[in-house]
Structures are given as structure tokens and as C-alpha cells.
């Protein structure tokens, strides 16, 4: 298949699923494996991470006001609003913790590749199991909270860093597990969504700088993939912020995971 078309398809998948409680990395990995025959674990992880740059740009634009305020807080911390300080502290702690855990998981995944034969079917199985896990979390933890950003504690940052770090595993939804954890911590829906989306910005940027910078080459095909990821990411995040209080995605994810696992029986 034409490489530009492949990248556009992968970009659309990334743009739509990044903000859903479905693993965008898992879905991009699944498409790359089943439809395009890629089974190298390192290549799959780097390809998924690279497309996150498109949704990163979408988040930067959508939350530009919040990001400007947090940037001002970073350089004028002493004189900044207390709520902005708490949010900034939260993001820094969560990013450091998730970065450390992500590196450990990446090391383990690449190490396992040397001892096991990685096939498309095995990757699909594990993606399905992790999506099943994500769906159950979403259904179980849908309680309404009352906490706002001004009530963030350092302990929230440590816990959310752990949750976001676990999303390095293919199939575990970053937004799904972080939003669920925030809801468990009694944050309201809108605050949980906003904090989860803001958390994605520094870790995706750092991850790409660390893992993809040496191999970075923006080909025409890769450009179209990033563009598709950005456009569909911006559209999806706007829709979800509007509908966040009306939709429980847990059942959708659960059904999707079950169908995926059942599909392995006939592949």
C-alpha cells in the first residue's frame, strides 16, 4: 500500500483514539501489525510515539490559555496564583514518575523480544487483554467527584505518574487509565479530562526527544501522518470536552475488546 495512505490511516487512528478511553498506541500498533505486517516491537513503539506529536500539537492549541498561564507560573513561581502552582507541581511530579516507569517498561518489552517470537496474533491478544482491562476500569470508576484543580495534592501527582507510566504498555489507554484514576481521586469529570489531556503534553514531548530524536526524519509520508493526527485529534478533543458528562465509554471499550479477542479464534 502507498506509504502516504498508510501514514494517513495511522494518523487518523491516533487522532481519534488518543482522547478516547481506548489505547491510541494499542490501536496504532494493532493496525500496523495486522494490516501492514510490522511486528518489530521497537519499531511499533517508536511509530506510535511519533504520531503522538500530532495530538500533542492539538492539545497545545486547544489548551493554549492554560499552557500560557502554567508557563508564566514556571518563570514567576513565587508570585503566581496558588492554583497554578499546584497544577504545575502536579504535572512535573507526574511527568518524572511516568517517564521513569515508561523507560523501565520499554526496556522490558525490548528485552522480551530477544526471548520470544513476536507475532501479529500474539500482539493482538495482548492488546485485546489490555483493552479489556481498560474497559472494566472505566465502568467501575465512574463515580462523580467534586475536587477541582485548586485542590490538587502532591500525592495525586505520584499516583497519576504511576498510572500514566503503565500506559507505556501497548493496549493500556493513557487517557482511560489517567481519567479513571482522577475520577477515583474524586475529581469532577471536566477537571479529570483537562488534567489528563494536559499530562499528555510533557511526557509525549520528552518521549519523542529521548526515543525518536536520533532517527527523526520528516518524510512526506510521515508529514501526512502527523497532519492527520493533528486535525482529527483537535476535532475529537473538542467533541469530547463537550460531551464528557453525557457518555460512559467503558462499555464501548469492553465490547470492542471482547470482539477483538473473539476475532482471534477465526484469524
Give the model confidence (pLDDT) of 74-97 as tens digits: 999 888 888 899 999 999 999 999
Integer Cα distance of 131 and 148 in angstroms? 28
Give the model confidence (pLDDT) of 177-216 as tens digits: 888 888 778 888 778 888 999 999 998 888 777 766 665 5
Q: CA separation (Å) from 27 to 33, 66, 261?
A: 10, 29, 14
Lowest-confidence region among 24-28, 129-133, 179-183, 245-249: 245-249
Continuous segment of H or E residues that includes residue 44: helix 41-62
Q: CA separation (Å) from 147 to 56, 187, 195?
A: 26, 4, 12
Q: What's the pLDDT score for residue 120?
A: 56
Given a cut of 80, whether residue 134 has pLDDT beyond it is no
Q: Where are the domains of the chain?
A: 3-263
pTM comes to: 0.77
**24 bridge partner residues:** none
Amino acid at each position: 500500500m502507498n506509504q502516504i495512505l498508510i501514514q494517513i490511516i495511522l494518523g487518523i487512528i491516533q487522532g481519534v483514539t488518543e482522547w478516547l478511553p481506548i489505547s491510541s498506541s494499542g490501536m496504532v500498533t494493532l493496525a500496523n501489525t495486522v494490516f501492514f505486517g510490522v511486528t518489530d516491537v521497537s519499531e511499533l513503539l517508536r511509530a506510535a510515539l511519533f504520531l503522538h506529536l500530532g495530538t500533542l500539537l492539538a492539545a497545545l492549541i486547544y489548551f493554549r490559555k492554560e499552557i500560557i498561564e502554567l508557563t508564566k507560573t514556571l518563570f514567576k513561581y513565587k508570585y503566581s496564583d496558588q492554583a497554578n502552582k499546584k497544577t504545575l507541581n502536579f504535572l512535573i511530579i507526574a511527568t518524572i514518575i511516568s517517564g521513569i516507569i515508561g523507560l523501565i517498561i520499554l526496556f522490558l518489552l525490548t528485552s522480551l523480544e530477544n526471548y520470544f517470537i513476536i507475532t501479529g496474533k500474539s500482539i493482538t491478544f495482548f492488546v485485546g487483554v489490555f483493552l479489556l482491562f481498560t474497559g472494566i476500569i472505566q465502568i467501575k470508576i465512574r463515580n462523580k467527584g467534586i475536587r477541582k484543580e485548586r485542590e490538587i495534592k502532591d500525592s495525586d501527582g505520584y499516583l497519576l505518574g504511576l498510572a500514566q507510566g503503565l500506559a507505556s504498555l501497548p493496549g493500556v489507554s493513557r487517557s482511560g487509565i489517567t481519567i479513571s484514576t482522577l475520577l477515583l481521586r474524586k475529581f469532577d469529570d471536566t477537571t479529570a479530562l483537562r488534567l489528563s489531556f494536559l499530562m499528555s503534553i510533557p511526557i509525549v514531548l520528552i518521549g519523542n526527544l529521548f526515543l525518536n530524536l536520533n532517527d527523526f526524519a520528516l518524510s512526506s509520508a510521515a508529514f501526512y501522518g502527523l497532519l492527520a493526527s493533528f486535525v482529527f485529534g483537535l476535532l475529537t478533543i473538542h467533541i469530547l470536552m463537550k460531551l464528557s458528562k453525557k457518555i460512559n465509554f467503558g462499555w464501548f471499550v469492553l465490547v470492542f475488546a471482547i470482539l477483538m479477542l473473539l476475532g482471534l479464534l477465526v484469524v
